[in-house]
């Protein structure tokens, strides 16, 4: 798997909207995200169609594909960030020019619904993409330091590094109220102990499962699987979606589960009940309540990269990213 050229201070980052459009953001949020990326030393430019918004707060397939193709084709652009997630990035998959993308590998980062398009690019074009902050994520103020630190480590350096747990986490709708936030103590948790290494795939579980049966689904047998889900899941749907993915894989080397939003009602009791259903998960390293997904803060990880997991010591080390 190829690694895109890492970002450097002074590089141009293009913002595209493969899912929901930027029109869903407040002007304050838009400006603050742009300013924060510029403060990191990047030049920030925007796809021409990111403000177009239809009945479902998105834009046409043609408009979204055009912006992605232009971002990959433009030699001045060194990295691509998505505006935000949503529901429909998988609509684009048959219409992307994967040869164009393959011949112009560059950093592509987003999470949630962006799991579909990032994974498809990795599968079809043969280079690592990244599950990490959206453009809109840089609007967040509190807990931004953790998010930015591991964004930079993953996308701006080449040396292997380890991620540690954030000491705090939040489930607040921070984009509605930046001041009155509630944080709780955080730590990663071990379901089953062990250590292993291997290729990494994953992201948003329900979105990744949309790729099953298509050419865009990666071969996840013997991989380290990172999965999370959002507020729309419930214990029963998470359980069946996880089962489906494990059946597709056959065998995996490790499982890492992102922290759930409280509204999902996937409590620790429910999650342990679900994990207990699968004998294979008692035989491999499994971590949960890890800092990625739809709670804050999150770290960035490489789709198609390589990772070492030690669930006994609760360490995650990225070795190819």
Closest to 246 measured CA to CA, from 273, 213, 223: 223
Statement to judge: residues 89 and 169 lie in one domain: no
Determine the Cα–Cα distance for residues 203 and 53; give it in Å rounded to an integer.
Answer: 26
In the chain, how many domains are there? 2
Q: What is the arithmetic mean of pLDDT over 251-277?
A: 98
Q: Quick one: pLDDT at residue 311?
A: 98
**Among candidate residues 99, 124, 139, the one where a domain is terminated:** 139
Provide the CATH number for the domain around residue 207. 3.50.30.60
Q: Is residue 151 in some structural domain?
A: no
Q: Quick one: pLDDT at residue 280?
A: 97
Statement to judge: residues 184 and 299 lie in one domain: yes
Average pLDDT, the chain: 98
Statement to judge: residues 194 and 107 lie in one domain: no
Q: Quick one: pLDDT at residue 205?
A: 98
215: buried, middle or exposed (CB in 10 Å: 19+, 13-18, 0-12)? exposed
Q: What is the arithmetic mean of pLDDT over 130-140?
A: 98
Q: What is the arithmetic mean of pLDDT over 50-76?
A: 98
Structural domain including 166 reads 162-320
Active site residues: 112, 228, 294
Q: Quick one: pLDDT at residue 169?
A: 98
Q: Quick one: pLDDT at residue 136?
A: 98
**Among candidate residues 139, 154, 176, the one where a domain is terminated:** 139
Q: Is residue 44 in some structural domain?
A: yes
Q: Is residue 5 in some structural domain?
A: no
Statement to judge: residues 49 and 109 lie in one domain: yes
138: buried, middle or exposed (CB in 10 Å: 19+, 13-18, 0-12)? buried
Q: Is residue 94 in some structural domain?
A: yes
Q: For 261-270, what is each residue's pLDDT tens digit?
A: 999 999 999 9
Q: Quick one: pLDDT at residue 44?
A: 98
Q: Is residue 147 in some structural domain?
A: no
In degrees, rounded to 5, the angle at the alpha carbon of residue 86 between the alpha carbons of residues 242 and 213 is 45
Q: Quick one: pLDDT at residue 283?
A: 98
Q: What is the arithmetic mean of pLDDT over 284-293?
A: 98
Q: Quick one: pLDDT at residue 267?
A: 98
Statement to judge: residues 172 and 45 lie in one domain: no
Statement to judge: residues 171 and 74 lie in one domain: no
pLDDT tier at 257 (50, 70, 90 boundaries)? very high
| pTM of the complete model | 0.97
């Amino acid at each position: 798997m190829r690694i895109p050229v890492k970002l450097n201070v002074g590089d141009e980052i293009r913002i595209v909207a493969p899912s929901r459009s930027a029109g869903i953001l407040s002007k304050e949020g838009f400006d603050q995200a742009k300013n924060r990326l510029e403060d990191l030393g990047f030049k920030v430019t925007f796809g021409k169609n990111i403000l177009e918004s239809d009945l479902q707060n998105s834009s046409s397939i043609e408009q979204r594909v055009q912006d992605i193709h232009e971002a990959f084709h433009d030699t001045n652009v060194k990295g691509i960030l998505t505006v935000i997630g949503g529901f429909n990035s998988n609509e684009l998959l048959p219409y992307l020019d994967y040869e164009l993308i393959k011949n112009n590998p560059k950093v592509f980062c987003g999470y949630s619904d962006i799991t579909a398009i990032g994974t498809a690019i990795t599968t079809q074009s043969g280079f690592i993409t990244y599950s990490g902050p959206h453009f809109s994520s840089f609007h967040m103020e509190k807990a931004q330091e953790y998010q930015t630190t591991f964004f930079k480590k993953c996308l701006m350096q080449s040396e292997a590094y380890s991620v540690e747990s954030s000491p705090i986490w939040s489930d607040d709708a921070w984009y509605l109220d930046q001041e009155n936030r509630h944080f709780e103590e955080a730590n990663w948790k071990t379901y089953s102990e062990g250590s292993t290494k291997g290729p990494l795939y994953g992201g948003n579980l329900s979105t990744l499962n949309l790729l099953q049966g298509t050419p865009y689904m990666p071969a996840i047998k013997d991989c380290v699987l990172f999965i999370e889900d959002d507020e729309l899941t419930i214990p029963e749907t998470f359980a069946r979606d996880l089962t489906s993915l494990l059946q597709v894989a056959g065998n995996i080397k490790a499982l890492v589960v992102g922290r759930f939003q409280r509204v999902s009602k996937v409590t620790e009791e429910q999650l342990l009940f679900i994990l207990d259903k699968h004998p294979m998960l008692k035989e491999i390293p499994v971590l949960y309540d890890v800092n990625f997904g739809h709670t804050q803060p999150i770290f960035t990880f490489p789709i198609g990269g390589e990772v070492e997991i030690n669930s006994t010591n609760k360490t995650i080390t990225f070795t190819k990213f």
